[in-house]
Chains A and B, each alone.
Chain A
Amino acid sequence: MTTRFALVDCSSFYASCERVFRPELEGKPVVVLSNNDGCIIARSNEAKNLGIKMGAPYFQLRDFMEKQGVAVFSSNYELYGDMSRRVTNVLLQFTPNLEVYSIDESFMDFSHLKEEDVISHSKQLRERVLQWTGIPVSVGVGPTKTLAKVANRLAKKKAADEGVMVLTNTSDIEAALEQTEVRDVWGIGRQHAARLQAIGVGNARQFRDLPADWVKKNMAVTGLRTVLELRGSSCINLEADEVPAKKNICTSRSFGQPISTLSEIEEALSTHTVRCSTKLRRQESYAGAITVFLLTNRFAKDASSDYYSSKSARLPAASNSETQLLRYANALLKQMFRKGERYVKVGVVLSELVPAEQVQLDIFSVENTEKQDKLMMTLDNLRQRFGHAAVKYAVQGEEKNSKWAMKHEHLSQCYTTRFEQLLRAR
């Protein structure tokens, strides 16, 4: 059976989300900053055309952007997460065979469509997502996931009002691969790209035509798979909808400004630990070990010691109890903390995860574990209903106005997830 995949990609997704609720920014340059307003992580086309680079530090471009009238936003993942869910729900109406690849990209199985219907179907999908959610998307279709990616890149380059590229016949695919640099092929890392370049393989067509043996020898099976996909035989299927449980869970944030006092770091670490253990319980796992890491300012001239330090502890029995994890996290922090150091980031990693049904109970504290389970379930329910700040530990302190709270001076409203921040109209 011939396969056909579509890759649907939201154009400048974060910037587009902001624009849905600020229609006056249509056609204007928009950028979104990383956590702590550090650097630029999303740009509208207008911002790209001003020469604003991905990853550029915000403070370097602040004046320039102000002069150019660029709208600047702190990242509002609560909003982007909800808008992403909406886009996915619209896509699911076209086929249930869908893989959410990232917050702004989904692969869809289009194998069931008749060849002559693919373009109209893709255009309809694009129109519907835009009409229903306000988010513009581009659609690339090809016989394999890798070719759908290639098609999508080209769709984006086409006139803004089309945004659809379908690769079916051999000559179209040939032309598309000629226009695609090998480093832009899905699955080709930077090192392999440089190596291929060195032997004169510049575009995707040249890469596709390399002998399979050479590719397998030099780029392993994953490289070979990419070549086969470019030749049109599908090797990478849609992933099952369920995200595999993570092997490690990490929560960390940079501080709004450098911190030298233990109690403030404890507040930040405790807040991260609570969030991290919430994630742990959401994927129905228990943690066997905990690691705390602490970073000092790498750029400070007087950096006297290591920039990165970390300490781990194994728990007596796998646990998902945040009260227990908090005790360990803060004990580890105390062992690492040094006076006089200026710290910029703290984080916690939960590892040696075991699925809930495989947990070896600590036979001396079964009763205690049951009590803890009930408590944690209650906390999770409360937080789900009333927000993450609803139930806190004293050691978490007050995030607002603290030094460790993230800086997000250009945060938009959570228009779709909080009653007090809804859109307003006269």
Chain B
Amino acid sequence: MKENKTMRETIYWTVYNNDSGGPTQQLLLFSSSVRAGFPSPATDYASDPVDLNTYFTRNPAATFLVRVEGDSMINAHIDNDDLVVVDKSLRAVSGNIVLAFVAGEFTIKRFVLKPDGAYLEPENPKYESIKVSSPEMGQVWGVVVGVVRKFDKDHKHDNTFRIS
């Protein structure tokens, strides 16, 4: 997308070639919003506003969002319909909450290594932990690094334009 020209002013210094008399080159002198009155004292301190993307994702190429179904991780503050942020570049260590693929399904559980094998443990006494005794039974897909929740449930899935 080209920048909106009407929003910005660009000032050029046109250099003339003395031999031909024609303009040969334009030098960019200044490019900023130009207003009458004092220039903003903040210009020298310009910075982008904080961005939730950078807060949640250290590694965008390996980051995936996953929608949570059910309450098996409720005691880890992961609720039904939340989004979890999954970083696929991280290798799970014992104690991490992970996205795993077990018995043909994706599941979010705490990954715990015990002397007798790897476990996927829920954070809700209603559910049982799953013992993963071989790689064929299941695999860790990525490590959950954050959870995103909106309180306004109606707009949770919303990415269409609404006129109210």
Return the chain B residue nearest A93 by Cβ. B61
Taking a contact as CB atoms under 8 Å apart, the answer to whether B108 and A419 are in contact is no
Binary flags per residue of A167-211, CB closer than 8 Å to B gives 1, else 0: 000000000000000000000000000000000000000000000
Interchain nearest-CB distance for A36 vs B (Å) = 26
B67 interface contact, C-beta 8 A: yes
State whether A425 and B67 are in contact (beta carbons under 8 Å apart), knowing that A86-B61, A86-B62, A381-B1 are contacts in the complex. yes
Taking a contact as CB atoms under 8 Å apart, the answer to whether B159 and A420 are in contact is yes
Grouping DSSP codes into helix (H, G, I), strand (E, B) and loop, the B interface class, with mixed when no group exceeds half, is mixed
Binary flags per residue of B1-22, CB closer than 8 Å to A gives 1, else 0: 1101010000000000000000
B111 interface contact, C-beta 8 A: no
Q: Which of A47-55, A265-273, A384-392 lies at the binding interface?
A: A384-392
Binary flags per residue of B60-100, CB closer than 8 Å to A gives 1, else 0: 11101111111010000000000110001101000000010
Return the chain B residue nearest A130 by Cβ. B88
Q: How large is the interface on A (under 10, 10 to 19, 20 to 34, 35 or more residues)?
A: 20 to 34
CB neighbours of B60 from chain A (8 A): 89
Taking a contact as CB atoms under 8 Å apart, the answer to whether A133 and B67 are in contact is no
A219 interface contact, C-beta 8 A: no
State whether A89 and B67 are in contact (beta carbons under 8 Å apart), knowing that A386-B160, A386-B161 are contacts in the complex. no
CA distance A422 to B159 in the complex (A): 13
CB neighbours of A86 from chain B (8 A): 61-62
Tally of chain B residues near chain A (CB < 8 A):
35
Taking a contact as CB atoms under 8 Å apart, the answer to whether A131 and B159 are in contact is no
A382 interface contact, C-beta 8 A: yes
Grouping DSSP codes into helix (H, G, I), strand (E, B) and loop, the A interface class, with mixed when no group exceeds half, is helix
CB neighbours of A418 from chain B (8 A): 159
Most buried by B among A284, A380, A426: A426
CA distance A284 to B2 in the complex (A): 8
Taking a contact as CB atoms under 8 Å apart, the answer to whether A133 and B61 are in contact is yes
CB neighbours of B61 from chain A (8 A): 86-87, 89-90, 132-133
Return the chain B residue nearest A131 by Cβ. B89
Interchain nearest-CB distance for A39 vs B (Å) = 30
Q: Which 8 A-B pairs have the closest CB atoms?
A: A132-B62, A425-B106, A89-B61, A132-B89, A23-B101, A86-B61, A386-B161, A422-B67
| Residues of B near any A CB (own CB < 8 A) | 1-2, 4, 6, 59-62, 64-70, 72, 83-84, 88-89, 91, 99, 101, 104-108, 139, 141, 157-161
